[in-house]
Amino acid sequence: MIRIVLTFLAMAWLSVMVLAPVVIVLFAGLSAGVGAWWSAINDEETRTSVALSLKIAAIVVPCNAVFGIAAAWALARFRFPGRALLLALLDLPLSVSPVVSGLVFVLLFGAQGWFGAWLQAHDIQIIFAIPGIVLATAFVTLPMVARELLPLLESQGEDAELAARTLGASGWQTFWLVSFPRMRGALAYGVLLCTARALGEFGAVSVVSGHIRGQTDTLPLHVEILHNEYHFQAAFAAASLLLLVGVATLLLRRLQTPESAH
Amino acid sequence: MTFSRTKRAPAAMPGLGLSLGITLTWLSLIALIPLAALVVRAGSLGWQGWLNAVSGERVWLSLRLSFGASLIAAALDTAAGLLIAWVLCRNKVPFKAFWDVLVDLPFALPTAVAGIALTALWVPDGWLGQLVAPFGWRIAFAEPGVVVALTFIGLPFVVRTIQPVLQSAEKELEEAAESLGASPAQIIWRVVLPSLRPALLTGFALAFARAVGEYGSVIFICGNIPMKTEITPLLIVARLEQYDYAGATALATIMLGFSALILAALQFLQKGRRTALR
C-alpha cells in the first residue's frame, strides 16, 4: 500500500514539475491551431534566428569535438603532472554561472574591455556581434564531447592501441584504424549533446549578444524577445522547436545507452 | 617536466604532445584566459573597491535570495529525487521508460524555454497558479517562483547521482528487511538512506551549484523586481546594462569563487566515495 502511495507521489511530482512545463509549451504553441504555429515558425525573424543558431553551432561544435577527442585522449591514455587539475578545470565551464561565462568576454573584448580600444581602432566588433556569441557558446559547451569520450576511453583500456603499435602501426594509423572506430558512438552522442546545448544556450549568449534583431538574436533570444513583447503564442511556437531538439537528444540517448552501458 | 611513459617506451602510446597541446591551447583560449581576465580585472579594483562594489543592500538581498532559494530548491530536489530514484529502481511503475526519460528533461530543455513555460504555468491565472491562488499563494513574480524554477532545473542532478548507487546496492538487503517485517518507510530510512548518504550529498551539491548560477529559467518567472526577486546573476546583467563593469566584475568573482569551491567539494566527496567503495 505504502509502495503504491510512494509511486504515486513520485509520478505526481514529475507530472507537476516536469511534464506540465513540456505540455504547456506544446499547448500554448498550438493554441491558435497548427496554421498559426507554422506561420509563427515560418516568420522572417524566427527563420533568421534559427539560421543564426545553426551557424553558431556549426562553428562551435566541430572545434569542441576536436578538443574533446584530444582532451579525452590525453587524460585517459596518459598520466602526467597536473592531470587532476586539468580534469577539474575541464568541468569549470559547466559549473560557472552562464552570466559569468558571457561577462568574461565582455571584459576582454567589450568597449571598456582589455582589447576594446584596439578592436575599435581596427573596426573589429566581437561583443554585440557574432564572434562574441561564438566565443560564449564555445565556453559553455567546451567539455561536453570530452565528458562523453573520457569514461569510454578509460573503460576500453589501451590494449588494442598498444597491440597495433607493437604490430608496427604509426601513431595516426593507430588512431584512425583502431581508436576512432571504437569511439564513434560516444563521439556522435557527445556531438549531439554539444549541438543541442549550443542551439539552446541562453544566459551567456544573452550577455554578449546585444539583442540586435535580425542580426544577433539566436533562437532562444528570439523566444525571449517574443515573450517580452507579449507575443506568447509565437514565443511558445519558437520554443517548441527547442523543445523538440531537447526531446530528440533524450530519445537518441535511450537508443544509444544499451550498447554503451557495459 | 618528465612524462614517464614517453621516456621509457618511445614507441608506445602515441600522441601525448599533440593531444595535450590541443587541449591546453583551446582550454586556455576559450576558458582559462577569459576567467583569468575576470580575476585580474577584479584585482585591479583593489580590496576597498571590491568591497564597495559587493556591499549595499541590493547586493546583499540578491545574494540572500540566490543562495537561500537555491538551498531550498536543492533540498526539495534531494527529497523528491530520492523518492523518484527509489520508485524507478525498485517499484513496478507503469510506463517506466517514459518517466525515466522525463527525469532528464530539465537537462535537455533550454533554460529560456523552461523559463517561459514555468511562468505560463504559475501566473495567477495559469494552469497551476490558479490552483494555489485561492490560498493566497503567489508563485510567479514572487520569491516562490525562483524556488520553483531552481527546483525544476536541479532535479535530474539528484536522481542521476542516486540511481546508479541504488541499482548497484544489494536489493537483497531491502528484501531481507521487508521479510523481517519492516515497512517501506523503515526500509528507506534504516536501510536505503545510510548507504546513499554520499550520493545524496553529491546530488545536493550539484543541484545547489547549478541553482546558484542559474539565469535563463529564473528571469521570466521572478518578475525582476529589484531588492525583492532579483537573483545575483540578474543583478550582474543589470549592472552590465548600466556599463557598471566594475560592479558586475566584483559580483562575478563571488559567483566564480563559489563555483570553484563547489567543484573542490565535489572532488573531495567523490574521492571519499571511491575509497568507501573499495
- pLDDT for B271 beyond 80: no
Spatial contact of B173 and B143, defined as CB atoms under 8 Å apart: no
Contacts of B45 in chain A (CB under 8 A): none
| CATH number of residue A154's parent domain | 1.10.3720.10
Q: How does A164-180 read in b/e, with b if 16+ C-beta sit within 10 Å?
A: bbeeebebeebbeebbe
Average pLDDT over residues A202-206: 95
Tell me, yes or no, if B268 comes closer than 8 A to chain A by beta carbon: no
Tell me, yes or no, if A178 comes closer than 8 A to chain B by beta carbon: no
Residue numbers of the domain that contains A141: 31-260
The predicted structure's pLDDT at residue B277: 46
- pLDDT for B255 beyond 60: yes
- pLDDT for B151 beyond 60: yes
- pLDDT for B7 beyond 60: no
In the structure, what pLDDT confidence band is assigned to residue A262 with cuts at 50, 70 and 90? very low
The predicted structure's pLDDT at residue A3: 84
Contacts of A183 in chain B (CB under 8 A): none
Q: Is residue A225 part of a domain?
A: yes
Residue type, B145: G
Residue type, B77: D
Average pLDDT over residues B258-274: 82
Q: Is residue A3 part of a domain?
A: no
User: What's the maximum distance between 2 C-alpha atoms anywhere in chain A?
Assistant: 74
User: What's the maximum distance between 2 C-alpha atoms anywhere in chain B?
Assistant: 75
Give the integer Cα–Cα distance in Å for A189 and A192.
5
Question: Over the stretch A66-106, which tens digit does the pLDDT of each residue have?
Answer: 999 999 999 999 999 999 899 989 989 988 999 999 999 99
Give B55→chain A minimum CA distance, Å: 19
The predicted structure's pLDDT at residue A196: 94
- pLDDT for B123 beyond 50: yes
In the structure grid, which three cell numbers stand for residue B268, read together?
A: 573531495
- pLDDT for B254 beyond 60: yes
ipTM of this predicted structure: 0.91
Tell me, yes or no, if A232 comes closer than 8 A to chain B by beta carbon: yes
**What's CA B99's distance to the chain center, in Å?**
21
Spatial contact of A108 and B41, defined as CB atoms under 8 Å apart: no
- pLDDT for B179 beyond 50: yes
pLDDT higher at A258 or B150: B150
- pLDDT for A168 beyond 80: yes
Give the integer Cα–Cα distance in Å for A31 and A233.
7
CB contact set of A79 (below 8 Å; sequence gap of 6+): B4, B5
Give the integer Cα–Cα distance in Å for A166 and B11.
8
The predicted structure's pLDDT at residue B11: 53
Q: Is residue A20 part of a domain?
A: no
* Closest residue in chain A to residue B1, using alpha carbons only: A81
Domain count, chain A: 1
Q: Which of B23, B24, B104 has the most A C-beta neighbours within 10 Å, making it the best mutation to test the interface with A?
A: B23
Question: Over the stretch B33-65, which tens digit does the pLDDT of each residue have?
Answer: 999 999 999 999 999 999 999 999 999 999 999
Contact B155 A17 (CB under 8 A): yes
Spatial contact of B114 and B144, defined as CB atoms under 8 Å apart: no
Q: Is residue A252 part of a domain?
A: yes
Contact B18 A6 (CB under 8 A): no
* Closest residue in chain A to residue B236, using alpha carbons only: A99
Other Cβ atoms closer than 10 A to B245? 19
- pLDDT for B5 beyond 80: no
Q: Is residue A12 part of a domain?
A: no
Tell me, yes or no, if B141 comes closer than 8 A to chain A by beta carbon: no
The predicted structure's pLDDT at residue B233: 96
Residues in A 59-118 with any Cβ partner in B closer than 8 A? 63, 66-67, 69-71, 73-75, 77-81, 86, 88-93, 95-100, 103-108, 110, 112, 114
Place of cell 565556453: A139
Tell me, yes or no, if B84 comes closer than 8 A to chain A by beta carbon: yes
- pLDDT for B68 beyond 50: yes
Average pLDDT, chain A: 91
Tell me, yes or no, if B71 comes closer than 8 A to chain A by beta carbon: no
Q: Is residue A177 part of a domain?
A: yes
Question: Over the stretch A46-58, which tens digit does the pLDDT of each residue have?
Answer: 999 999 999 999 9
Tell me what percent of the residues of chain B surpass a pLDDT of 90.
Answer: 67
Contact B111 A17 (CB under 8 A): no
Contact A103 B236 (CB under 8 A): yes
Question: Over the stretch A18-42, which tens digit does the pLDDT of each residue have?
Answer: 999 999 999 999 999 999 999 999 9
In the structure, what pLDDT confidence band is assigned to residue B275 with cuts at 50, 70 and 90? low
Q: Is residue A13 part of a domain?
A: no
- pLDDT for B102 beyond 90: yes
pLDDT higher at B277 or A77: A77
Contacts of B215 in chain A (CB under 8 A): 97-99, 202-203, 206
Q: Is residue A116 part of a domain?
A: yes
Tell me, yes or no, if A259 comes closer than 8 A to chain B by beta carbon: no
Contacts of B35 in chain A (CB under 8 A): 92, 96, 104
